[in-house]
Chain A
Amino acid sequence: MISRTQRILFWTLLVSSVLMSIVLLRMRERALDRLLASAETMPLNPPAGRPVQSVTIMIANDMDGSLQPAYQNLALPLDDNARAHVILQHLIADYSRPSSKHPIAANKGVNEIFFMGLPADATHTSPGTVAIVDLSGSFVEAHPSGIEPETLTLLSIIGTLHANFSQISQVRFLVDGQQRDTLAGHADLTRDYLASDAPGVKHL
Chain B
Amino acid sequence: MHKMQPIFGCTLLVGALLAGAQQPAATSPAAPAANSPAAPAANSPAAPAARAAPRFVVVIDAAHGGADNGARLSDRALEKDLVLTLSVRLRSMLGAHGIYVITTRESDAAIPAVNRAEAANHAGAAACITLHATTSGSGVHLFTSSLTQIPATRFLPWETAQGAYAEQSLRLSSEIDTAMTHAEIPVTLGRTALQPLDSFTCPAVVAELSPLHGAATVTQLSDSAYQDRIVAAMAAAVEQWQHDWRQQP
Are A and B physically bound partners?
Answer: yes
Distance between B31 CB and nearest chain A CB, rounded to angstroms: 29
Q: Which of chain B's residues have a CB closer than 8 A to the CB of A147?
A: 132, 134, 141, 143, 190, 192, 194, 206, 208
Q: For the complex, what is the distance from the CA of A186 to the CA of B192, rounded to whole Å?
A: 10
Tally of chain B residues near chain A (CB < 8 A)? 31
Q: For the complex, what is the distance from the CA of A6 to the CA of B192, rounded to whole Å?
A: 86
Interface size band for A: 20 to 34
Q: Mark B97-127, 1 if CB is under 8 A from A, else 0.
A: 0000000000000000000000000000000
Determine whether A194 belongs to the interface, using a CB cutoff of 8 Å to chain B: yes
Q: Mark B59-94, 1 if CB is under 8 A from A, else 0.
A: 000001000101110000001000000000000000
Pick 19 A–B contacts, CB within 8 A, sort by A.
Answer: A62-B137, A65-B141, A102-B136, A146-B136, A147-B132, A147-B190, A147-B206, A148-B136, A148-B137, A148-B143, A149-B137, A170-B3, A184-B71, A187-B194, A188-B195, A191-B5, A192-B2, A192-B3, A194-B3
Q: For the complex, what is the distance from the CA of A62 to the CA of B211, rounded to whole Å?
A: 12
Distance between A6 CB and nearest chain B CB, rounded to angstroms: 79
Q: For the complex, what is the distance from the CA of A65 to the CA of B192, rounded to whole Å?
A: 12
Known: A145-B134, A188-B194. A196 touches B208 (CB 8 A): no
Distance between A74 CB and nearest chain B CB, rounded to angstroms: 28
Say whether A65 contacts B135, CB under 8 Å.
no
Distance between B22 CB and nearest chain A CB, rounded to angstroms: 29
Say whether A151 contacts B2, CB under 8 Å.
no
Determine whether B189 belongs to the interface, using a CB cutoff of 8 Å to chain A: yes
Determine whether A200 belongs to the interface, using a CB cutoff of 8 Å to chain B: no
Closest to B130 in A: A147
Q: Which of chain B's residues have a CB closer than 8 A to the CB of A63?
A: 137-138, 213
Contacting A at CB under 8 A, from B1-50, are: 1-3, 5
Q: Which of chain B's residues have a CB closer than 8 A to the CB of A194?
A: 1-3
Distance between A103 CB and nearest chain B CB, rounded to angstroms: 8
Known: A65-B141, A186-B132, A188-B194. A145 touches B1 (CB 8 A): no
Say whether A196 contacts B141, CB under 8 Å.
no
Distance between B64 CB and nearest chain A CB, rounded to angstroms: 8
Q: Which of chain B's residues have a CB closer than 8 A to the CB of A184?
A: 71
Q: Which of chain A's residues have a CB closer than 8 A to the CB of B138?
A: 62-63
Say whether A144 contacts B188, CB under 8 Å.
no
Chain A residues with a Cβ under 8 A of chain B: 62-65, 102, 144-149, 151, 170, 184-188, 191-194, 196-197
Q: For the complex, what is the distance from the CA of A144 to the CA of B72, rounded to whole Å?
A: 9
Q: Which of chain A's residues have a CB closer than 8 A to the CB of B71?
A: 144-146, 184-185
Say whether B2 contacts A148, CB under 8 Å.
no
Determine whether B96 belongs to the interface, using a CB cutoff of 8 Å to chain A: no
Main SS of the interface on chain B?
loop
Say whether A65 contacts B132, CB under 8 Å.
no
Distance between A198 CB and nearest chain B CB, rounded to angstroms: 12
Q: For the complex, what is the distance from the CA of A122 to the CA of B208, rounded to whole Å?
A: 41
Say whether B79 contacts A145, CB under 8 Å.
yes
Distance between B75 CB and nearest chain A CB, rounded to angstroms: 15
Known: A145-B70, A147-B192, A197-B146. A65 touches B137 (CB 8 A): yes
Distance between A151 CB and nearest chain B CB, rounded to angstroms: 5
Distance between A105 CB and nearest chain B CB, rounded to angstroms: 13
Say whether A148 contacts B70, CB under 8 Å.
no
Say whether A148 contacts B190, CB under 8 Å.
yes
Distance between A84 CB and nearest chain B CB, rounded to angstroms: 21
Q: For the complex, what is the distance from the CA of A192 to the CA of B6, rounded to whole Å?
A: 12
Q: For the complex, what is the distance from the CA of A62 to the CA of B137, rounded to whole Å?
A: 5
Distance between A23 CB and nearest chain B CB, rounded to angstroms: 57
Say whether A146 contacts B190, CB under 8 Å.
no
Q: Which of chain B's residues have a CB closer than 8 A to the CB of A188?
A: 193-195
Closest to A192 in B: B3
Q: For the complex, what is the distance from the CA of A188 to the CA of B68, rounded to whole Å?
A: 16
Q: Which of chain A's residues have a CB closer than 8 A to the CB of B201?
A: none
Say whether B188 contacts A197, CB under 8 Å.
no
Say whether B210 contacts A146, CB under 8 Å.
yes
Q: For the complex, what is the distance from the CA of A5 to the CA of B138, rounded to whole Å?
A: 96
Distance between A190 CB and nearest chain B CB, rounded to angstroms: 9
Closest to B187 in A: A65
6 shortest A-B CB distances, which residue pairs?
Answer: A146-B134, A65-B188, A145-B71, A149-B136, A62-B137, A188-B193
